[in-house]
Amino acid sequence: AQSVSQHNHHVILSEAASLELGCNYSYGGTVNLFWYVQYPGQHLQLLLKYFSGDPLVKGIKGFEAEFIKSKFSFNLRKPSVQWSDTAEYFCALTSGGSYIPTFGRGTSLIVHP
């Protein structure tokens, strides 16, 4: 069975600080990895995804994530956060055998102006 772990449940930063949110997964085969963002009161939307090729993936709003296969990780990064980045961030995984995603528990990010 596949699983996704997000160890940082709550992160509080000041504007302009750098961000790294952890995501680790458990699955022995080929994976596709996603980061979704949920702004307050809104629905989830895709930030970025990895399925093949360059392990460093760039997404919207200056976010990027790096797939490190040896560490089973797909951490999300942003060099300088803004107040508007305050949101819930979800890491998710699908595998070759299933299109149904497995979501992590989410990380709540609060950015103080």
Partner 1 sequence: DTAVSQTPKYLVTQMGNDKSIKCEQNLGHDTMYWYKQDSKKFLKIMFSYNNKELIINETVPNRFSPKSPDKAHLNLHINSLELGDSAVYFCASSQTGNSYNEQFFGPGTRLTVL
Total of residues contacting partner 1 (CB under 8 A): 26
CA 27 vs CA 1, 24, 31, 70: distances in Å: 7, 10, 8, 12
Question: Could you give the string, one character per residue 8-37, with x where binding to partner 1 holds by CB under 8 A and - elsewhere?
Answer: ------------------------x-x-x-
Query: In sequence order, which residues have a C-beta less than 8 Å from that of residue 16 and are 6 or more positions away?
Result: 80, 81
Q: Answer yes or no whether residue 86 interacts with partner 1 by CB under 8 A.
A: no
Query: By the criterion CB under 8 A, which residues form the site for partner 1?
Result: 32, 34, 36, 38, 42-46, 49, 51-52, 88, 90, 94-101, 103, 105-106, 108
